[in-house]
Amino acid sequence: MKFLKNKFFIIMLCVALALVIVPSVLSIMGLGGYVDNAVMTLTSPLRSAVTLVTDAVEGFTSYFTDYDRLKAENEELKEQLAELEEKYYSIEEIEELNDWLMDYLELAREHTDYDLTVANIVGRETGNYMTVFTLDVGTENGITEDMPVITSDGIVGYITEVGTNWCKVLTILESSSSVGACVEATGDLGLLEGDFEMRTEGLCKLTYLSADSAVAVGDRVISSGLGSIYPRGLVIGYVESVEYDEYSRTITAYVRPSADLENLTRVMVIKSYETVAE
């Protein structure tokens, strides 16, 4: 009884009865269309809100569905790119090795008097410019001290220390290194030496050139064969600058090695060669 006396309950009951009775009466009177129109008008905002919510939910779901799909496609593309990069570098390495082997064969054909052994550089001295290398060959490969080390481009240096399966190479840039040299264009003889200060610039100095030498920038310098290490005729490098000393009346030429000492990965060791007398 207390519940029936509640004003809110009575109002809601009246509204419910009105919603049921009024449309029924109007339908009996043939005015049902007006009722439908009124209901559609009254419920239109609610239906719009429901539609917006439904579209939002669908868009939200679609976003995450597309995100997952795009993420999967992105991962697949990354894998494909990694495979292509691996193939590219493999092809690049094969081409580099092929070029190196062609150079090796050409050098071997040109110098049939050379007994050559191929070696890989497995260690480098730290510093601004590499002047000492470690190779993966040693006494088990017939390697001994003072053997020349070269590439198809020119002289690298010589063996200074040997182990069972390794050896160390002192390059021509090192200050304790020297090579009997000849300026090919002029025939001038000199001594090519490493220099402590110039090695950071990748240069050697050619000394004991006479004051009347016609040596010029760009001249090729080769080994003279004088000494006990390098055979005659190996390319050393090219003159980069020339300096005249008024006091000693001599010329010093600064030479850049033709072998790319900073980026070498493989070299050749001359185990023996025939000395040709002139």
Query: What string of H, E and C letters represents the secondary structure of 87-118?
Result: HHHHHHHHHHHHHHHHHHHHHHHHCCCCEEEE
Q: What's the pLDDT at 106?
A: 78
* Residue of 206, 222, 231 lying closest to 146 (CA atoms): 231
Structure tokens at 269: 């060791």
Compute the average pLDDT of residues 265-273: 89
- Residue 177 is classified by DSSP as -
Question: What is the spatial distance between Cα 235 and Cα 104, in angstroms, rounded to a whole number?
Answer: 15
Q: What's the pLDDT at 100?
A: 67
Q: What's the pLDDT at 20?
A: 56
Q: How confident is the model at residue 52 (pLDDT cuts 50, 70, 90)?
A: low
| C-alpha 57, offset from chain centre | 48
Phi and psi at residue 255, in whole multiples of 5°? -115, 135
Beta bridge partners, 245, equal 250
Place of tokens 């809110």: 8
Q: What is the mean pLDDT of the chain?
A: 78
* Cβ pair 22, 38 in contact under 8 A: no
* Residue of 138, 140, 235, 132 lying closest to 183 (CA atoms): 235
Q: What's the pLDDT at 38?
A: 53
Compute the average pLDDT of residues 91-113: 73
Compute the average pLDDT of residues 135-147: 93
Least confident residue range of 23-27, 83-87, 92-96, 267-271: 23-27
Q: How confident is the model at residue 72 (pLDDT cuts 50, 70, 90)?
A: confident
pLDDT digits (tens, 9 = 90+) for 142-196: 999 999 999 989 999 999 999 999 999 999 999 888 999 999 999 999 999 998 8
Give SS3 for 224. coil
